[in-house]
Chain A
Amino acid sequence: MNNKNQGYIFFSFFLILVVAQTSCKHEEGEYHSIIDKIKNKSKNYHGVTLSSESYLGDDKMIKITEDGHTFLIPERKGKLKSFKCSECHSKPLSQINDEDLKKAHWDIKIVHANEKTMNCLTCHNSNNMDELKSITGKSIDFNRSYNLCNQCHTKQFDDWKGGAHGKRIGGWAPPRASLSCVNCHNPHNPSFEKKWPERYNSQKTKERK
């Protein structure tokens, strides 16, 4: 009887051992959280072989570096329909101010801040139509028009430099290419209209009845 009991005890002990060994969950738990994992794994970061250059298409890009961030933005001057305003307008603004003729760019309404803050001359240089100017009168190239926006919208500019504001094009792989401010926002009327959503799910409505 004693042997039998001993046998049972040994067997159950062995069984418990086996169960304990096999039930430990297979855990890759070297990292406590994803942030730890990111920190550790980026120590030996060698870069990726993928590139998003092929996805940029035919658009001409220029590389800018602001505050340590280097990325591509679309070139602007080639896209403006009649750029090099001075090719047609040879006289400076003060001289083409004629009462009989229609006002230039009469169809552009400025819906941007208010009259006390913004008018045409806030950004445009009346002496040089081919360039923009800052609040203090320094000239700003059309390709770098974001330098105008960042005079007031500093927070959005910081976000844009980092990549949290605005749209990235191409792909996620370097080199980074982002759209600049004027690619989305019309500088004369920067806000967006409301619209209807792209789709509606009738199946969901059915399920929830």
Chain B
Amino acid sequence: MSEKNKKWFSLNLNNNSNKTSTSCGCGKTSGGCKTHNQEEIDENVFFNDAVDASVGEQRPKDGIDQVFDVKMDRRTAFKKLTASLLIGAGAVSTSCSTLASDESKEKAQIDWEEQFKGNYKLMSNEEKEATVTRLVRSYQLRTGKTLNMSSVDAQKDVLYGYAFNISKCQGYMDCVNACVEENNQDRNSQMQYIRIHEMKDGKGFNFNESDDNYYHEVPAEGHFYMGTQCFHCDNPPCVEVCPVQATWREDDGLVVVDYDWCVGCRYCMAACPYDGRRFNWSKPEVPEEQINKNQHYLGNRMRKKGVMEKCTFCVQRSRAGKNPACVEACPTGARIFGNLLDPNSTIRWVLENKKVFRLKEDLGTEPKFWYFMD
């Protein structure tokens, strides 16, 4: 019987990766000097760990892992099973190493801290500033250039609102351009927060038959144009469904995402009735010279793959008193933005004097984006 067992011992069916040798002085077999390759393997290990973790300690240990990879199972079964921990272990072991340079040590330190920080919503002001400093420094270490990232909170007595004049929009798509330039979206997948729908006169607001990817002279005869984007609802269904509260409505009404907290389950995208959210299916890439360096933590800073993003009413601009890029860029003045709580604002005047409506009112989401006509 034992011979038969021995026969199976030699087939390392489950874990192929963990026995990488390291030149590091720390002696960890599950870490190693931080390289891109290492990251992949660790995540593979993580998949197994995750499966194990969900079953692990409770299941009678009759799995093949127990036999073939006792070291890993014992060690990792009792630690917090996260791949980040393994990556972080790599970071730590790099820091321990006498061979790695100061810069890569600092980078490893920053990455380690960034992995384990909490939800931005729950951070104190010092923690927010600390994370911004880390991100800016990390960018500096990577590219040698510097950024201007802010973490300014919502102002008091401010509630942002937006109005869109359907009669004025001519379908130029200047807004789409400006938004993409302002917010550092992935160029490969041509991610755009704004959609402009070209609709035929006389058919009502028939989105089914509208065209949102036209390319001909505008304004086309017999058509009108409507733009949609995230409407920053006051009762946002996306906020309700996020399992980790990575998206929330700020006090000034903006619905924002903490990109580092998002786990990428895409439940919010299923819940949004207005196609407001975008997902980074791959690593977002922006050519270096096109990166907008004036950033906000919740706004247009560079995202990573596997996280959700959306229009933020250009939080980096609006919290400084500027108009969002789309409002600024529209040559016809079809877009109106302002503070709903200020009784003298233009947005209030529009709501009180023009015949405004919102999309899908019956869903109870209370969007803060109104449409009107001249």
> Does residue A187 face the partner (Cβ distance < 8 Å to B)?
no
Contact B218 A195 (CB under 8 A): yes
Flag if A197 contacts B159 (CB, 8 Å): no
Shortest beta-carbon distance from A46 to chain B in Å:
6
Q: Known contacts being A164-B349, A194-B219, is A205 close to B366, with CB within 8 Å?
A: no
Chain B residues lying within 8 Å of A34, measured Cβ to Cβ, are 234, 366, 368
Q: Which residues of A contact B336 (CB under 8 A)?
A: 163-164, 168
B323, B327, B330, B374: residue with the most chain A Cβ atoms closer than 10 Å:
B323
A146 to chain B: closest CB distance in Å? Answer: 14
Q: Which residues on the A side are within 8 Å of B124 (C-beta)?
A: none
B176 A174 Cβ-Cβ under 8 A: no
Q: How far is B317's CA from A50's CA once the two chains are assembled, in angstroms?
A: 12
Task: Tell me whether A50 and B155 are in contact (CB under 8 A).
Answer: yes
Given contacts A50-B155, A168-B333, A205-B213, contact A199 B338 (CB under 8 A): no
Residues of B within 8 Å of A, CB-based: how many? 63
**How distant is the Cα of A170 from the Cα of B322 in the complex, in angstroms?**
7
Instruction: Determine if A201 and B190 form an interchain contact, defined as CB atoms under 8 angstroms apart.
Output: yes
CA distance A50 to B338 in the complex (A): 12
A162 x B374 contact (CB < 8 A)? no
Whether A46 contacts B157 by the Cβ 8 Å rule is: yes
Tell whether A23 is near chain B: CB-to-CB under 8 Å. no
Q: From residue B163, how far is it (CB to closest CB) to chain A in Å?
A: 8
Q: Is the CB of B354 within 8 A of A197?
A: no
A102-142 interface code vs B (CB 8 A; 1 in, 0 out): 00000000000000000000000000000000000000000
- For chain B, residues 309 to 343, give those with C-beta under 8 angstroms from any C-beta of chain A: 317-323, 327, 330-333, 336-343
Q: Which residues of A contact B353 (CB under 8 A)?
A: 162, 164
* B216: Cβ under 8 A from any A Cβ: yes
* Chain A nearest Cβ from B157, distance in angstroms: 6
Q: Are A172 and B318 in contact (CB under 8 A)?
A: yes
Evaluate whether A197 and B172 lie within 8 angstroms (CB atoms) in the complex, with A42-B342, A55-B322, A155-B374 already known: yes
Report A146-179 residues with CB < 8 Å from chain B CB: 155-156, 159, 162-168, 170-174, 176, 179
Q: Return the chain B residue nearest A37 by Cβ.
A: B234
Check: A3 CB closer than 8 A to any chain B CB. Answer: no
A 189-206 binary contact with B (CB < 8 Å = 1; else 0): 000101111111111110
Quick one: which of B173-198 are within 8 Å of A by CB? 173-174, 176-177, 180, 189-190, 192, 196
Query: A19-54 toward B: CB 8 Å interface, digit per residue (1/0)?
Result: 000000100000101100110011011111111101
Assess whether A172 is in contact with B323, with CB atoms less than 8 Å apart. Answer: yes
Q: List 7 A-B contacts (CB under 8 A).
A: A50-B319, A162-B346, A167-B332, A192-B170, A194-B217, A203-B189, A204-B213
For residue B17, CB closer than 8 A to chain A, the reply is no
- Provide the bound-state CA to CA distance between A174 and B347, in Å: 12
Spell out B's residues near A (CB within 8 Å).
Answer: 155-160, 163, 165, 168, 170-174, 176-177, 180, 189-190, 192, 196, 212-219, 234, 240, 317-323, 327, 330-333, 336-347, 349-350, 353-354, 366, 368, 372, 374
Residues of A in contact with B (beta carbons under 8 Å apart): 25, 31, 33-34, 37-38, 41-42, 44-52, 54-55, 155-156, 159, 162-168, 170-174, 176, 179, 184, 192, 194-205, 208
Q: Return B14 CB to nearest CB of chain A, in Å.
A: 38
**A173 to B332 alpha-carbon distance, docked (Å):** 20
Compute how far the CA of A173 lies from the CA of B320 in the bound complex, rounded to whole angstroms: 9
A45 CA to B366 CA in the complex, in Å?
22
Contact B218 A162 (CB under 8 A): no
Chain A residue contacts of B196, Cβ below 8 A: 197
A47 smallest CB distance to B (angstroms)? 7
- Asked if A204 and B215 make an inter-chain contact with CB atoms under 8 angstroms apart, the answer reads no
Given contacts A42-B342, A171-B323, A174-B344, list 14 more A-B pairs with CB under 8 A. Answer: A34-B234, A42-B343, A48-B342, A163-B347, A164-B163, A164-B346, A170-B323, A176-B346, A184-B332, A196-B215, A198-B173, A198-B176, A199-B177, A208-B213
Residues of A within 8 A of B215 (CB): 196-197, 200
Instruction: State the majority secondary structure of interface residues on B.
Output: loop
Residues of A within 8 A of B176 (CB): 198-199
Task: Tell whether, in the assembled complex, residue A47 and residue B157 are in contact, meaning their CB atoms are under 8 Å apart.
Answer: yes
* Given known A-B contacts A167-B333, A168-B346, A200-B213, A48 and B155 have beta carbons under 8 A apart: yes
Q: Once the chains are docked, how many angstroms separate the CA of A179 from the CA of B38?
A: 57
Contact assessment for A48 and B322 in the assembled complex, using a CB-CB cutoff below 8 Å: no
A172 touching B337 in the complex, CB below 8 Å, given contacts A197-B214, A197-B215, A201-B192: yes
Q: Most chain-B Cβ atoms within 10 A of its Cβ — which of A52, A167, A170, A202? A: A167
Given the complex, which residues of A lie within 8 Å of B333, measured CB to CB?
165-168, 179, 184
- A31 → chain B, closest Cβ, in Å? 8
Residues of B within 8 A of A165 (CB): 165, 168, 333, 374
**A196 near B216: Cβ-Cβ < 8 Å:** yes
Asked whether A164 lies within 8 Å of B350 as measured between CB atoms, the reply is yes
Report Cα–Cα, A50/B323, bound state, in Å: 12
Which residue in chain A gives the minimum CB-CB distance to B341?
Answer: A42
Task: Report which of B158, B165, B219, B354 forms a contact with A48, defined as CB distance below 8 A.
Answer: B158
Bound-state CA distance A41–B340 (Å) is 9
Q: Which residue of B lies closest to A161 (CB)?
A: B349
